[in-house]
Amino acid sequence: MSDKLTVNDNMVVSMDYTLHLDSGEMVDSSEGREPLAFLQGHGQIIPGLERELVGMAVGDAKKVTVTPADGYGERDAEALQVFPHDAFPDDMALSVGMPLHMRDTETGHVLQAFVAELGDAGVVVDFNHPLAGATLHFDVKIISLREATSAELEHGHAHGPDGHAH
């Protein structure tokens, strides 16, 4: 039995990663930034990636393919909504693909969306996650591992070296 730390629930994991789509397009990477730090087993990263990290040790690297069901879900046609042009400020130059932050009037939550179409009938807004329906290809490398502190476990997320959430 080794004392070597491996990725398990309630561990703070720091990892470098690169994310590509089936097309080969790179859509995200930690390159040039700090590694991604998260609390394993608390749903902070997509389930398909979280599951594949279990048992990895510092320095380990692997390729992980995540299907939409274990990633950002399938695209939902009902997540498309048409808004009249006058629902947007006159000085807002809308364009297809433009990200939007819209407030749900019932809950007050801010929703992320993007402009899917501009037409005479109105603006089609897509509330799907931009990566919904995509198969995700990750290259990951574990940079550091440590046991979570009691405060991190209580709050359900990793804290930075200064003790604050990042």
Say which CATH number the domain at 86 has. 2.40.10
Same domain, 81 and 68: no
pLDDT mean over 15-27:
97
Same domain, 52 and 30: yes
Residue 81 lies in a domain: yes
Same domain, 89 and 104: yes
Q: What is the C-alpha separation between 26 and 5, in angstroms, rounded?
A: 30
CB-CB contact of 9 with 40 (8 Å): yes
The mean pLDDT of the chain is 92
Residue 161 lies in a domain: no
Same domain, 22 and 96: no
Indicate which CATH number applies to the domain containing 28: 3.10.50.40
Same domain, 81 and 106: yes
Q: What is the C-alpha separation between 61 and 143, in angstroms, rounded?
A: 9
Domain limits for position 22:
11-72+132-155
Same domain, 122 and 151: no
pLDDT mean over 51-55:
97
Residue 165 lies in a domain: no
pLDDT mean over 143-158:
91
Residue 17 lies in a domain: yes
Same domain, 63 and 17: yes
Q: What is the C-alpha separation between 122 and 62, in angstroms, rounded?
A: 45
> So what's the pLDDT on residue 2?
52
pLDDT mean over 133-149:
96
Looking at residue 124, the DSSP 8-state letter turns out to be: E
CB atoms inside a 10 Å sphere around CB 2: 6
Residue 59 lies in a domain: yes
> So what's the pLDDT on residue 3?
67
Q: Is the pLDDT at 162 greater than 70, yes or no?
A: no
* Confidence (pTM): 0.81
Paired with 118 in beta bridges are 123
- Residue 60 makes CB contacts below 8 A (sequence gap 6+) with 141, 142
Residue 6 lies in a domain: no
> So what's the pLDDT on residue 166?
47
Residue 4 lies in a domain: no
Count of structural domains, the chain: 2
Same domain, 103 and 147: no
> So what's the pLDDT on residue 133?
96
Q: How confident is the model at residue 157 (pLDDT cuts 50, 70, 90)?
A: confident
> So what's the pLDDT on residue 1?
45
Q: How confident is the model at residue 22 (pLDDT cuts 50, 70, 90)?
A: very high
- Residue 1 makes CB contacts below 8 A (sequence gap 6+) with none
Residue 163 lies in a domain: no
Share of the chain above pLDDT 70, in %: 95
